[in-house]
């Protein structure tokens, strides 16, 4: 019998949560009612994949998949297909996988009379706060189709950015992996055999050769220590990276880096402009839109500033004035927001600003990769050249002695 996770209210108003076994979502709801509980949210626990110590084993839903499903849903709704039938059609269209399972659960919630936004909200690992808030605003305003179209466009843009960054980083990462592998192979297998020849001839070796032999000897004798230290550092990093203070320090330091800092800033501004403008044009209130946009921006330094901006706006401040007090937001963005506030086109101006910073980010990534690739080739050439020189110099010296 399937197991469902639920959160519900008691008659006295206290909130409780737990799991319950039932034949279906409707059966789980009826069982909770018999126990005097009013269901707030019910979702299947481990659909087919099971759970192991609280970790759900699922393949996940990629951003392009989510964007395509959103686009298809908007198209169906634009063709006057009812929401339940549209979600059912999407679920039948999808190939077997996580997204098909999720759409099936969403369909069951819709069958129970739950609104689409709440049905999506029960799957937070796929549909985040911004997605749910925009769908809820679309339902409330009666413009769900247009909201879903804008949301699909936003997701497609985010997927395109990720794809471009991944493609740009693929070659440099491959170069570093191959270069590192070649160096380790030379140090661990080639250099030791050559060293034996030099030692047998008792030749005076150049400093570069002595240094390389010392490194090779270290890796031969203490490889296990290198592995232990590497594993220890990896475990320490995994432990520290979840601490809020470490995350805030890391994000603050990233913004100060010479090359990565401007890239991170442009990406944060692009996400902020796109997300905030899209939320506002979809009918989400300013305060709630700022809260969600702060979560969309991955950098915690920006999140902290946006939370301060939200507090100032609650007290009656203007968005342009509040953002202008922080050096994280360039004058161009502040001026565009101020013009949008005066002209009553704040939403569109934010979207335009986000698109502008997105273009700047893409251009900067392209230029950076164009510069990084020859530098990596040069670095690998110098590393391999150093090894070759360390091997050839003693050979030349031995030839001179023989002559």
Residue 73 confidence (pLDDT): 93
Number of domains in the chain: 3
Residues 315 and 342 grouped into a single domain: yes
Residue 88 confidence (pLDDT): 93
d(C-alpha 47, C-alpha 33), whole Å: 23
Residues 118 and 205 grouped into a single domain: no
Residues 128 and 90 grouped into a single domain: yes
Residues 121 and 177 grouped into a single domain: no
- Which pair of tokens denotes residue 139? 């339902």
Residues 149 and 169 grouped into a single domain: no
Residue 51 confidence (pLDDT): 39
Residues 85 and 171 grouped into a single domain: no
Residue in 39, 34, 33 with CA at minimum distance from that of residue 16: 39
**What is the CATH number for 123?**
1.20.81.30
The last residue of one of the domains, among 105, 138, 156, is 156
Residues 212 and 121 grouped into a single domain: no
Residue 283 confidence (pLDDT): 83
Residues 6 or more apart in contact with residue 187 via CB below 8 angstroms? 212, 215, 216, 219, 387
CA dist 27 to 43, 50, 112, 232, Å?
12, 21, 11, 49
- Is 130:158 a contact under the CB 8 Å cutoff? no
Rounded to the nearest 5 percent, the helix, strand and coil shares of the chain are 75, 5, 20
d(C-alpha 328, C-alpha 351), whole Å: 18
Residues 139 and 219 grouped into a single domain: no
Kindly tell me the sign of the dihedral angle through the C-alpha atoms of 236, 239, 243, 248. Answer: positive
| DSSP annotation of 15 | E
| DSSP annotation of 9 | E
Residue 54 confidence (pLDDT): 34
Three-state secondary-structure class, residue 10? coil
Kindly tell me the sign of the dihedral angle through the C-alpha atoms of 145, 147, 148, 153. Answer: positive
The last residue of one of the domains, among 156, 174, 189, is 156
The last residue of one of the domains, among 156, 177, 196, is 156
Which domain does 32 fall in, by range? 3-55
Residues 69 and 23 grouped into a single domain: no
Residue 152: Cβ within 10 Å count:
20
Query: How far from the centroid of its chain's Cα atoms is residue 360's Cα?
Result: 20
Q: Mean pLDDT of all residues in the chain?
A: 83
> Which stretches in the chain have pLDDT values below 50?
46-58
Residues 213 and 335 grouped into a single domain: yes
**What is the CATH number for 8?**
3.10.20
List, in sequence order, the alpha helices (H) in 114-187: 116-121, 129-141, 144-185
Residues 149 and 201 grouped into a single domain: no
Residues 289 and 398 grouped into a single domain: yes
């Amino acid at each position: 019998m399937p197991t469902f996770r639920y959160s519900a209210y008691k008659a006295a108003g206290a909130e409780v949560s737990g799991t319950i076994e039932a034949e279906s979502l409707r059966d789980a709801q009826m069982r909770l009612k018999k126990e005097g509980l009013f269901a707030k949210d019910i979702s299947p626990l481990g659909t087919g994949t099971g759970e192991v110590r609280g970790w759900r084993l699922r393949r996940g839903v990629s951003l392009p998949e989510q964007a395509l499903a959103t686009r298809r849903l908007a198209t169906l709704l634009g063709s006057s297909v009812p929401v339940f039938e549209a979600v059912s059609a999407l679920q039948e269209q999808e190939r077997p996988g996580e997204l098909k399972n999720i759409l099936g659960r969403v369909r069951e919630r819709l069958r129970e009379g739950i609104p689409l936004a709440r049905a999506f909200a029960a799957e937070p690992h796929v549909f985040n706060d911004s997605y749910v808030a925009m769908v809820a605003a679309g339902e409330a305003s009666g413009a769900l189709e247009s909201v879903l179209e804008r949301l699909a466009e936003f997701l497609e843009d985010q997927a395109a950015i990720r794809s471009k960054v991944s493609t740009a980083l693929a070659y440099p990462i491959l170069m570093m992996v191959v270069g590192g592998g070649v160096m380790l192979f030379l140090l661990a297998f080639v250099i030791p055999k050559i060293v034996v020849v030099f030692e047998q001839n008792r030749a005076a070796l150049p400093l570069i050769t002595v240094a390389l032999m010392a490194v090779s000897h270290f890796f031969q004798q203490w490889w296990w220590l290198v592995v232990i230290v590497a594993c220890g550092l990896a475990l320490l990093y995994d432990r520290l990276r979840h601490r809020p203070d470490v995350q805030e320090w890391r994000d603050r330091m990233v913004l100060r880096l010479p090359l990565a800092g401007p890239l991170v800033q442009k990406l944060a501004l692009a996400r902020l402009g796109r997300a905030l403008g899209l939320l506002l044009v979809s009918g989400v209130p300013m305060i709630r839109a700022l809260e969600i946009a702060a979560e969309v921006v991955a950098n915690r330094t920006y999140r902290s500033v946006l939370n301060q901006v939200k507090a100032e706006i609650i007290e009656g401040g203007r968005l342009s004035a509040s953002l202008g007090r922080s050096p994280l937001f360039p004058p161009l963005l502040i001026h565009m927001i101020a013009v949008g506030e005066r002209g009553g086109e704040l939403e569109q101006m934010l979207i335009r600003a986000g698109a502008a910073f997105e273009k700047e980010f893409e251009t900067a990534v392209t230029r950076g990769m164009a510069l990084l690739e020859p530098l990596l080739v040069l670095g690998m050439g110098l590393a391999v050249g150093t090894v070759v020189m360390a091997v050839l110099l003693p050979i030349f010296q031995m030839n001179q002695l023989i002559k």
